[in-house]
Structure 1
Amino acid sequence: MPRVSQQQTDQNRIAIEKASARLFREKGLHGVSVAEVMAAAGLTHGGFYGHFSSKDGLAAVACANAFAHSSARWDQRFTELPEREDRRRAYVEGYLATATRDRPGSSCTAAALAGDVARTDADAPVRAAYLDGVKSMVARLASVQPDAGSPAAEQRALADVATLVGALLLSRATKGDPISEALLASARARLLQEGLAP
Structure 2
Amino acid sequence: MKVTKAQAQANRERIVETASRLFRERGYDGVGIADLMAAAGFTHGGFYKHFASKAQLMEEAAACGIQQTAAQTADMDAAGFFQRYVSRAHRDARDIGCTLAALGGDATRQPEAVRTAFEAGIEKLLEILVRDSTLSRSGSPEQARIRALAMLVQAVGAIVMSRACPDDSPLAEEILEVCRAAILGSLGSRPAANEHPDAGLEPT
Computed over aligned residues only, the root mean square deviation of the Cα atoms, in angstroms, reads: 1.5
In 1, the alpha carbon distance for the partners of 2:126 and 2:163 equals 22
Residue 112 of structure 1 pairs with residue 102 of structure 2: yes
The structure with higher relative contact order (CA 8 Å, sep 6+) is 2
Q: What one-letter code is carried by the residue in structure 2 that aligns with 1:186?
A: V
State the partner residue of 1:177.
Answer: 169
Residue 195 of structure 1 pairs with residue 187 of structure 2: yes
SS for the counterpart of 2:188 is coil
**Aligned-pair CA distance for 1:196:** 1.6
State the partner residue of 2:58.
Answer: 59
Q: Is the 8 A contact 1:145 1:153 kept in 2?
A: no
Q: What one-letter code is carried by the residue in structure 1 that aligns with 2:155?
A: L
In 2, the alpha carbon distance for the partners of 1:145 and 1:53 equals 44
SS for the counterpart of 2:29 is coil
Selected match of 1:99 from 71, 84, 89 = 89
Q: What one-letter code is carried by the residue in structure 1 that aligns with 2:87?
A: A
Residue 150 of structure 1 pairs with residue 149 of structure 2: no
In 2, the alpha carbon distance for the partners of 1:101 and 1:37 equals 23
Q: Give the 5 Å matches for 1:64-75.
A: 64-75=63-74
**Aligned-pair CA distance for 1:120:** 2.3
In 1, the alpha carbon distance for the partners of 2:23 and 2:56 equals 13
State the partner residue of 1:81.
Answer: none
SS for the counterpart of 2:51 is coil
SS for the counterpart of 2:42 is coil
State the partner residue of 1:162.
Answer: 153
Sort the Cα spacing of 1:74 and 1:52 in 2 relative to 1 into closer, same or farther, 3 A. same
Aligned length: 185
State the partner residue of 2:115.
Answer: 127
Unaligned runs of 5+ in 2: 190-204
For residues 44-101 of structure 1, what are the alpha-carbon distances to aligned partners after superposition, in whole Å with 9 as ceiling and x for unaligned? 11100000000000000000111112111212x43xxxxxxxx122111100111100
Quick check: 53-62 or 146-155, which moved more?
Answer: 146-155
Unaligned runs of 5+ in 1: 79-86
Q: What one-letter code is carried by the residue in structure 1 that aligns with 2:156?
A: V
Q: Is the 8 A contact 1:139 1:157 kept in 2?
A: no
In 2, the alpha carbon distance for the partners of 1:96 and 1:129 equals 23
State the partner residue of 1:84.
Answer: none
Q: Is the 8 A contact 1:21 1:62 kept in 2?
A: yes
State the partner residue of 1:24.
Answer: 23
Q: Is the 8 A contact 1:138 1:158 kept in 2?
A: yes
